[in-house]
Amino acid sequence: MKGTYLGEFEELVLLTVGALYDEAYGVAVMDEIKNETKRGVNISAIHSALRRLEEKGFVKSRMGGATNERGGRRKRYFVLTSYGKKALDDAQSLRMKLYNRIPNMSFGN
Binding site for other proteins (CB under 8 A): 25-27, 42-45, 47-48, 51, 63, 69-71, 73-76
Minimum gap (Å) between residue 47 Cβ and other proteins: 6
Minimum gap (Å) between residue 70 Cβ and other proteins: 4
Q: Which is nearer to other proteins, 51 or 60 (CB)?
A: 51
Q: Which is nearer to other proteins, 25 or 58 (CB)?
A: 25
Calculate the dihedral angle through the C-alpha atoms of 25, 36, 58, 86, rounding to the nearest 10 degrees.
Answer: -150
CA-wise closest residue to 84 among 107, 34, 50, 33: 50
Asked whether 20 and 29 are in contact (CB, 8 A), the reply is: yes
24 alpha-carbon distance from chain centroid: 9
Neighbours of 41 (CB within 10 A): 17
Minimum gap (Å) between residue 82 Cβ and other proteins: 24
Q: Which is nearer to other proteins, 28 or 91 (CB)?
A: 28
